[in-house]
Amino acid sequence: MCALTAPEVFTQDDDGFSEVRPGGTAATAGHPLVRDAARACPVGAVTLTDD
């Protein structure tokens, strides 16, 4: 769901698991779809925290 919701931020590895694209750190946290991706994650693997 992450890669489908925010493809500019997340990608899928060869096994179909989502991962943050290379270079994706704090800059991607501000991406408008990251919050949606966290909500859409069916297993709760993506979380956001406010600093």
pLDDT tens, per residue, the chain with 51 residues: 888 888 888 888 899 888 888 876 555 667 788 888 888 888 888 777 776
Query: Which residues on neighbouring strands pair with residue 11, listed in sequence order?
Result: 19
What pLDDT is recorded for position 37? 86
What pLDDT is recorded for position 25? 59
For the chain, give the secondary structure using H, E and C: CHHHHCCCCEEECCCCCEEECCCCCHHHHCCCCHHHHHHHCCCCCCCCCCC
* Overall pTM > 0.85: no
In whole angstroms, give the CA distance from residue 14 to residue 29.
Answer: 24
- Domain residue extents for the chain: 2-40
Q: Is 35 left (phi over 0), alpha (psi -120 to 50) or beta?
A: alpha
